[in-house]
Amino acid sequence: MRLTQWTDYSLRVLMYCAACQERVKPPTVAEIAEAHGISRSHLMKIVMSLASYGWLETTRGRGGGLRLLKPASELRLGDVVRRTESDLMLVECFDPAGNHCKLDGHCRLKGVFREAMQSYFDTLDAYTLADLMVPPTLARSAALQPISLQLPKVRKSVKAGKSLTH
């Protein structure tokens, strides 16, 4: 399953606003659009949708911007994905009105996919927007830490000409 760009951008807007909660001047659509390389007009539609769900407060004019209406700890990822995804029908047989599958009722695929979808949303429901946010001090210190990769050393066997891994 792949999330739509709409959902991806919705999550980015909400996370950006959560990360900026402590700022005096709230983030703007233009700021978020520039930060993520997203069309400002497209992002505006997403922001208006998020505001209509009661997740964002939008203030126009000088000093205006975007603020979360609910604490990040109250915004469940599963709720965001359910509201922003336009089609959660993984397979045709999920939709009784449009199902033309000749195997319907004779296979277990629909049940397996339904179970997988439930597990997917159970996992998303276990996390909130706040869970995705790394405290700024941790983010800065983590970014400064070198990444250490432990790769196996390879040496050539002179006799056999084969690579040996230690």
**Series of mean pLDDT values for 10-residue runs along the chain (166 residues):** 90 94 90 93 96 94 89 95 83 68 73 87 93 66 46 50 50
Q: How far is CA 14 from the centre of its chain?
A: 10
In the numeric block, which tokens belong to residue 29? Answer: 């659509």
Q: With CA atoms as reference, report the closest residue to 67 among 51, 43, 82.
A: 51
> Helices 5-19 & 77-84, crossing angle to 10 degrees?
140
Q: What is the pLDDT, as a whole number, of residue 6?
A: 94
Domain 5-134 carries which CATH code? 1.10.10.10
Q: What is the pLDDT, as a whole number, of residue 26?
A: 92
Going from N- to C-terminal start, the domains of the chain cover: 5-134
pTM: predicted TM-score of the whole model, two decimal places: 0.73
